Amino acid sequence: NMMRAFLEKLFTPAVAFMSRLWYWQKFVVLIILFTIPVSYAAFSYINQLDKSIAFSKKEITGIQYVSPVLLLLQHIQQHRGAASLYLRGDQSFKAVLDGKVQEITQDIARVDAEDQESGVVFQSTADWNAVKGKWLALERKYPIMSPTESYTQHTDLISDIIELVHKLGDESNLILDSQLASYEMMNIIINILPALTENMGRARAFGLSVQDSEKINEEERKQFIIYANTASVENAKLQNNIREAFGNDPSLRVALEGPPKEIDSAAKGFISLVEQAVSSEKIPLPLPEYYAFMTRTIDTHFTFSTHLVSVLEDFIENRVAQTEKEKQTTVLIIFLSYVLILYFF
């Protein structure tokens, strides 16, 4: 009886209110009361989907910006190696250097275009302008430098470019990607490949700038050992990250199965050549051939990087498409629910 009295008292205001309404008015009240929590939940969910879409689209923009920066990195590394030979007196490399300058000029134009689109969002314009200014100064001055000075200034510039790549990874959400497969691909593009190719690029330029290619000294041997050990560690890390991407999304196996074997073979070829230099205490190839071998090896890694950029961009675009489809499905279900309610009313 107490419970019954309590319930009667509890429902009396609602009963009194509803008793005054026509049937259609009662239905409208119920619809409103039903709509408030459902709409809140539905639109909160849609808002989360919108945030996920915006997050992924920012990643895509970051990938598009990083792509020409990586080309710039590749070509300035090549310019550093060719400059080492040219400054040793090999005039045939003047044509190579002129070709690299043209490629770098084209790379700069592409990065300029990306920075105009996204520089404010990524807070990258000041960093990019600093990189560009350093290159323009180096382009003018390197012909009168010593091989060692040229190597040092090129390497300093390349370090700034790699820092720019890292910043773009941070500011474009790439470093925050929550899906393991895409995170592993991002980590390879932003962190592992730039570090590995720069280690190889330094070994290329260093070998071309040693005092005597027929008799390297003890300090030079130690530096080559460091290059070989670093390449071995970075290559193992690279292969492991690729396997992790496979494991977390088997569909990537088709897209990534061939190139990892090529870059693993190229890295081991690099390590073998450097170890020959250590054991024989001399550069094992004539310097132009050494430059060509190292360049082919490094280019194999940059070719894989370009391929991986394309795979990652497609992967994230597919994720955006799936999320947008999920959003459209959610809106459609809500709409149809209210249509059915109105129909049966």
DSSP for 77-146, please give it: HHHHHHHHHHHTT-TTHHHHHHHHHHHHHHHHHHHHHHHHHHHHHHT-HHHHHHHHHHHHHHHHHGGGS-
Nearest to 298 by CA among 195, 169, 157, 208: 195
102-106, 171-175, 251-255, range with the lowest pLDDT: 251-255
> Cβ neighbours of residue 230 under 8 Å, at least 6 residues apart?
199
As a whole number of Å, the CA-based R_g of the chain is 30
- pLDDT for position 90: 87
| pLDDT value of residue 345 | 64
Q: Considering the entire predicted model, what is its pTM? A: 0.85
Q: What is the largest CA-CA distance in the chain?
A: 108
Give the contacts of 109 (CB within 8 A, at least 6 positions apart): none
Choose the weakest-confidence range: 165-169, 220-224, 248-252: 248-252
Weakest-pLDDT range from 2-6, 100-104, 269-273: 2-6
Q: pLDDT for 3-50, tens place per residue?
A: 777 777 888 887 888 788 787 787 788 778 777 877 788 888 888 999
Under 8 Å between Cβ of 155 and 204: no
Q: What is the pLDDT of residues 123-176, one digit of tens each?
A: 999 999 999 999 999 999 999 998 889 999 999 999 999 999 999 999 998 888
The pLDDT of residue 148 is 87
Average pLDDT, stretch 103-116? 97
In the predicted model, is pLDDT for residue 214 greater than 70?
Answer: yes
- Please, what sign has the CA dihedral across residues 89, 218, 157, 168? positive
Give me the pLDDT at residue 159, please.
Answer: 97
What mean pLDDT is reported for the chain?
A: 90
Q: Which positions ≥6 away from 39 have C-beta within 8 Å?
A: 334
Percent of the chain topping pLDDT 90: 64
Q: Tell me what the mean pLDDT of segment 57-66 comes to.
A: 95
Q: What is the pLDDT of residue 102?
A: 96
